Structure 1
Amino acid sequence: MLRRSLLALAATAGLAACGSDPRPAPRPSPVPEKKTTTLTGTVEVALNRGGGRALPTKVWLPAATGARPLIYFSHGLTSQPDDYAELLTAWQAAGFVVAAPKYPHTWHEAPEFNADDIVNQPADAQFVITEVLKALPDRIDANRIAAAGHSAGAITTIGLFSGSRDERLKAGVLIAGRQMPQPAPFAGTPSPLLFVQGKLDETVTYEQAYGAYNEVTWPKGFLELPQGTHLPHRDQPAVVAATTTDFWRWTLDGDEAAKTKLPQDVAATGVAGLTSTF
């Protein structure tokens, strides 16, 4: 069911347009040989699922020491993790570990680009989460893990909350995400989900995103940007960063004050609206 859904979307939604910046990323720092609770900045973990699916994963580590929550991030087609650096570093600065791989066949310099390969990405995601936990056990709280993604990465994230449900996930953010024509239902332990959607998005339409939102029976929110396109995190970076960060503080840190700030984060800008059942 999930495979048919993902293939249908890749074929019909024009998601090759979801990549945002074709420039090559700067060379990442190597993984330190010795783990330390004071390690900050970024590191790269060289991963490969099954020997044939290279998944080099960049990890943003916060200044806060000790075990912190992990946010797993999936990029869109023709994109890569560094294209989302402004948003991901905002989460890092708020005290969260962020891990984001380059998927083997959907990032912009993939040797064999294949949009249909998104069907395999939920399994990649589960593998990367497991391996990052092993690589950085003193920096990540294994009981506080969430997932986020943009466009095709949001498809991957939907998979992790539906047909390929990963019960380790406590919350999710879907940026320009939609449900499949024949979707697997959201399943497993209820986990709060926040949709972020530009109303002018022509790749994943407002109606498609809101349709997915309507299918969620858990606590949920829908952040609408009336002038936003397929890249709402770039159209309105401040409101998207503020709202998603407070969402993480609430769902992963148990910060009830951050939950009450969510409507304020949006209302103060005048460029977005929030519907939620939080």
Structure 2
Amino acid sequence: MGIRQRFAASTVALLLVWLTGCASPGEPPGRPVPTRAAPQVQYAVGVRDFVVDPDSARPLPVTLWYPTQDAQVAEGRFPVVLYSHGLGSLPELHAGLTTRWAAAGFVVAAPAYPHTRRGAAQFSRADVRHQPADGWRVIRYLVRLDRRAADPLAGHLDVQRVAAAGHSAGGFTTSGMFTSGRPARLRAGIVIAGGGMAGSFAEPPAPMLFVHGTADSVVPLSVGRAAYRRTTGPASFLSLVGQGHGEYLTPGRPGFAQVLGSTTDFLRWTLYGDQQAARRLPTHAHLPGTTTFETRLPSHPPPP
């Protein structure tokens, strides 16, 4: 194990103390982050499409991937991951990653944003600033869906354990959801080839994982690094050496296994409270010559 990897592993151990010994956002001080057994099986994956607020000025088509067993929704309650696409993209173009998260025991909801998705009638990159609010609309919809007794997903969505993740403009969208006063249900974020937005990474702190290619010419590495430095909670940075804006998100490409392994470990840790996943994270993230991985302690952690 190299010096950088040893540093990451030891720092993650300290972050475990921070995460499990202190209150999570919105919870009374001193209450540990709740833990549950993370699934030890790989599920089959179901897919469902629906539209949030179809009659509004901003209807949101959403693709939902979820764990199944015997062609039905799997038994249990599964944490939710909101996944945001980049400019000119679509949810299904990220299925290589999102379906694997669903197979690991998460419900993944991916909206197609009205003015930045591929084929948008009125495309506008400036509309990204409105997308964090769209993300919250999706989460509120899922809260209602979980209570809808006649729906097959009712009772299977753990809407108190939500993470936000996204690529490129979707990474900025993700950062923009971590503003002051956000609901406590949003517990962690994954920013892939993105950066921060105004007001992002506000208190209370939340664990964040950044993923970025060191040769990204669309969103330079410096932008991701600046966002990483702004965070006040536990934060980790996975660098894809010599890679660009997102080729590492394609199954079979160099770095994909490390991105999948580290993001899945991160989600298991932050949404299930799986400490073994946190300890595995540096190992799953590291491949000499392909990735580097580092973890930073909170700049001012809350009192135990």
TM range (shorter): 0.7 to 0.9
Asked if 1:75 corresponds to 2:92, the answer is no
Asked if 1:52 corresponds to 2:57, the answer is yes
1:10-29 superposed matches below 5 A: none
1:1-278 superposed matches below 5 A: 41-48=46-53, 51-63=56-68, 64-136=74-146, 137-162=154-179, 165-180=182-197, 183-231=198-246, 232-234=248-250, 235=253, 236-268=255-287, 270-277=289-296
Asked if the contact 1:76–1:149 (Cα under 8 Å) also holds between the matched residues in 2, the reply is yes
Aligned residue pairs total 239
Asked if the contact 1:147–1:172 (Cα under 8 Å) also holds between the matched residues in 2, the reply is yes
* TM-fit CA distance, 1:135: 1.8
Q: In structure 2, how many angstroms separate the alpha carbons of the residues matched to 1:80 and 1:212?
A: 25
Larger Rg: 2
- Moved segments of 4+, more than 3 Å: 163-167
**RMSD across aligned C-alpha pairs, in angstroms?**
2.0
SS at match of 2:161: strand
CA distance change for structure 1 residues 259 and 75 in 2, over 3 Å: closer, same or farther? same
Asked if the contact 2:102–2:108 (Cα under 8 Å) also holds between the matched residues in 1, the reply is yes
Q: In structure 2, how many angstroms separate the alpha carbons of the residues matched to 1:240 and 1:88?
A: 12
Asked if the contact 1:165–1:188 (Cα under 8 Å) also holds between the matched residues in 2, the reply is no
1:224-266 Cα offsets, whole Å, 9 max, x none, are: 0112211032352211111100110111111101100011112
CA distance change for structure 1 residues 184 and 140 in 2, over 3 Å: closer, same or farther? same
* TM-fit CA distance, 1:188: 3.1
CA distance change for structure 1 residues 68 and 265 in 2, over 3 Å: closer, same or farther? same
Asked if the contact 1:122–1:160 (Cα under 8 Å) also holds between the matched residues in 2, the reply is yes
Q: In structure 1, how many angstroms separate the alpha carbons of the residues matched to 2:55 and 2:184?
A: 22
Q: In structure 2, how many angstroms separate the alpha carbons of the residues matched to 1:270 and 1:250?
A: 26
Name stretches of at least 5 consecutive residues in structure 2 with no aligned partner: 1-42, 69-73, 147-153, 298-304
Name stretches of at least 5 consecutive residues in structure 1 with no aligned partner: 1-37
SS at match of 1:242: helix
* TM-score, normalised by the number of residues in structure 2: 0.74
Asked if the contact 1:45–1:132 (Cα under 8 Å) also holds between the matched residues in 2, the reply is no
Q: What residue in structure 1 maps to residue 24 of structure 2?
A: none
1:77 maps to amino acid = L
